[in-house]
Structures are given as structure tokens and as C-alpha cells.
Amino acid sequence: MIANLSLSPHQFARFCTSRIPISDFPPTSKTPNLFKPLSSSPCSIIHRDSPILFRSRGLRDAARKMFPTCAIGGLDFGAFESAQSVLEAAAVLTAIIVVHESGHFFAAYLQGIHVSKFAVGFGPILAKFNTNNVEYSLRAIPLGGFVAFPDNDSDSDIPADDVNLLKNRPIFDRVVVISAGVIANIVFAYVIIFAQVLFVGLPVQESFPGVLVPEVRPFSAASRDGLLPGDVILGLDDVELSRTGPSLVSEVVDVIRNSPNRKVAFKIGRGPENVKINITPDKNVDGTGRIGVQLSPNVKFTKVKPRDLFEVFRFSGREFWGLSSNVLDSLKQTFMNFSQSASKVSGPVAIIAVGAEVAKSNTDGLYQFAAILNLNLAVINILPLPALDGGSLAFLLIEAARGGRKLPFELEHQIMSSGIMLVIVLGVFLLVRDTLNLDIIKDLL
């Protein structure tokens, strides 16, 4: 699982609960984009669904509106202090992968197409079982999953001309199988939103001036210089923060990050009083400043539950279309600013950190977290790029345009295998990099 976070993951986390009032639907937040490919392998695997790429440069607005906590400096998430919240976040990501692969699997199964493997993860097998000539496995590298077909497996006893091999099916049947993963994620996203509206309700937000400090890390610069949990930051260096707004947190973060080893004057609201505190941010390894706090918009939330089934569908539909439009807009911004967002790609460690922060602060936020990841996965996967579902669909469109004549197998295999290899190498690199960027790891180094 790979994620492209053009902003820090904690900003995405805030998107998962801090929602605007229902009267303001559809939401104006921008959401991350997820990326998970489909590919060809040399032998038994016809296509492999792999990593989720998740970008959060469109996340700037989205993130500001989501979950109310963020840590300054690196991937400093208190959620990693709670094994339960980490497991909950990992379970969400695993469920998304399983749903996507199940879409491919059942689309093939219901058409009578032979399937040989269903895997979550890549690489060495951790656990497996076989039933009805299908191997189900859990694998060591958490970069996605795949459904395998025996079309080009030299060890398979299925004749090469069997009509129930995927490669021998009409183009429409193959389109259904390849696109079913995307469709499954879209449907799953709607079901999640529907369940949230029905059982939890949607949060309504009331904004107050300043930026809230929910937590101060012991022995941090903030703790050393007198900042307390529950304080509200009202101004920095004699400049008042704008009264309210989703951008306030990022304004404070930017000042802190740009002021390593430089005294910053904080105007603080503490109960009925306003006080001034001078804090000198510590310097990160990357040269940015950090003070060791969590920040959140200064908001209060209430839950609004629908009055009847009609309102459940109405709220769910508006929320679903709002999130979908934000995903598309975020994707557009990614390509328009690719040179800036490319360096902000992050992997599964960052995504789990975000999900863990969501789960730790408010389990209800996992609904939004899961829905957003599903929609991003669906949108990115349909792009006509090698190693994506959309890449496989592009080959089918070329085949249809050629009157049913396929591209040479060697050419198609080379293109798709190169795409998968690039994504896997990138995924492993990001796993290592994101792990090293965790503050808990930095403190040990």
C-alpha cells in the first residue's frame, strides 16, 4: 500500500470527523487519491492488484476539515501508542483490499471463469488454504493483493483453449472482471457512508476562534516553555490568527516548521484569560521546527441523525457525491502540480498512522476514513496506466479497436510487468522511508 501525501498525514486525519454542518452539503474538502495496480505476470498471474497510492496534496482543504488532531514534526502520531487503534486502521486497509480483490474474484466466479489464487499482500506466504482449486493466501508484503488466473500457467492442467480461461472470453466478459474491483470499492464506499448516517449520524461542527492544543508531549519544547493541554493558540509573533477557518492549523504548523531554534511568541487563550508564551521550536533532522504538540481546529461537534429512511438516503447520497467530486478534484490538482506532489508520496506506514490517529480520537471517524480510501482507490485505479486496472482496460480497448486482435503477448507482458515492478520497488522504498520518519523511530536513532 503506497500513499502520496503532499501534506502531512495528520492533516488527512482531521478530515475524518471535523465535518461542516449538514446544511452546507456537499462538503468542500479535498480528499486523497489512492492508487492500486493490476498487472500481468509471466506465468499464472494474469493480473495483480497491488499498492494503493494515496495523495494528499489535494488534502490540504480536505485534511483541514477532517479529524481534529495533528502532530507537529514528522509522523508523530499518538495513535501508535495504542495497539488497538493501529490494528483498527490496519483492519480498514485490509478490508478495502479484500473488497477490491473480491470484486475481481466474484465477477470471474459468477461467469464461470477459472481462478487459481486469491491473495492479500505479496511475497512469501504467511498462511494459506485451498478450496475448489483456488489457493487463498495471506502474504508478507502489505502492498495490496491479487487475484490470479491460470491462463498462462505451465503447471495448470486446464487446456489452453478452454473457453473458461479469462484470455479466451469475449472482451465484454474480461472488462467486467477487470472493472469489478473498482465497482466493488465504489459500492463499499457508499455502504460505509450509508451505515454511518444510519447508525452514527453525521457530525455538525461549530467553530470557535483559534487553534486548540489537545495534547503536549512530555519533555518537548512546548512542555518546556509552558504550553498546556487545552490551551487555545490565538496569535503568533503579535499577529492575530483569523477568527475561524479550516486553514488556521496549517498556518500555525507553517510558522512552527519555519522557525527552528527561533523564539516564537504565542498568544494563548487559557480559560477566561489570555497569556503570552515564548516557545523555541526544536530543530528536526530535516531542518524544520517542532514543538511536540497535537493541534486541532477549535471546534465542537454534535451528531445529527436522520429522521426517517428517506433522509438516510438523502444524506448518504449527498455525502457520497460530495466526497466523490472532491476525490476527482484532488486528482486533477495532483496532475496539475505533479512536480510538487511527487516528492510527497508516502506508504502504508503513513496511512496506518493516519487511521490509527482517527481510531484513537474517535472510532466514528473510521467510517469517513474507509469511505475516502475506497473512493480514491476506485478513481485512481481506473486511470489507463500500466499496472492499474485502467491499464488492463486500455489493452482491451486496443484489442477491440483492432477487431479482436490482441497485442503481442510479449509486448503487453513487458509493459505491465515493468509497471508492477516500478510500483513494488517504490512501495518497498516508501515502507522503509516512512518507518524511519516516524518520531518514535527518530527518537531511537
Between CA 355 and CA 92 the distance in angstroms is 8
- Among 28, 29, 34, which residue's Cα sits nearest to residue 63? 29
> Is the separation of the CB atoms in 361 and 297 below 8 Å?
no
101 is catalytic: yes
Residues with Cβ within 8 Å of 175's Cβ and at least 6 positions away in sequence, in order, are 393, 396
Provide the Cα torsion 85, 431, 217, 8; round to 10°.
Answer: -90
Provide the Cα torsion 196, 199, 202, 204; round to 10°.
Answer: -150
Cell 489493452: give the residue.
Answer: 395
3-state secondary structure string, 410-423? Answer: HHHHHHHHHHHHHH
Cell numbers at 7, concatenated: 501534506
The secondary structure of residue 247, as a DSSP letter, is T
Between CA 121 and CA 178 the distance in angstroms is 19
Cell numbers at 208, concatenated: 470557535
> Is the separation of the CB atoms in 263 and 280 below 8 Å?
yes
**Distances from the Cα of 286 to the Cαs of 99, 110, 250, 258, in angstroms?**
38, 52, 18, 11
Between CA 255 and CA 60 the distance in angstroms is 16
Which uninterrupted H or E stretch holds 123? strand 117-131
Phi, psi of 278 (to 5 degrees): -95, 120
Between CA 254 and CA 319 the distance in angstroms is 30
Between CA 172 and CA 272 the distance in angstroms is 67
- Other Cβ atoms closer than 10 A to 262: 12
Catalytic residue among 81, 88, 101, 135: 101
3-state secondary structure string, 137-150? Answer: EEEEEEEEEEEECC
Which uninterrupted H or E stretch holds 349? helix 348-361
- Other Cβ atoms closer than 10 A to 197: 25
Q: Is the peptide bond before 209 cis (omega within 30 degrees of 0)?
A: no
Active-site annotation, residues: 101
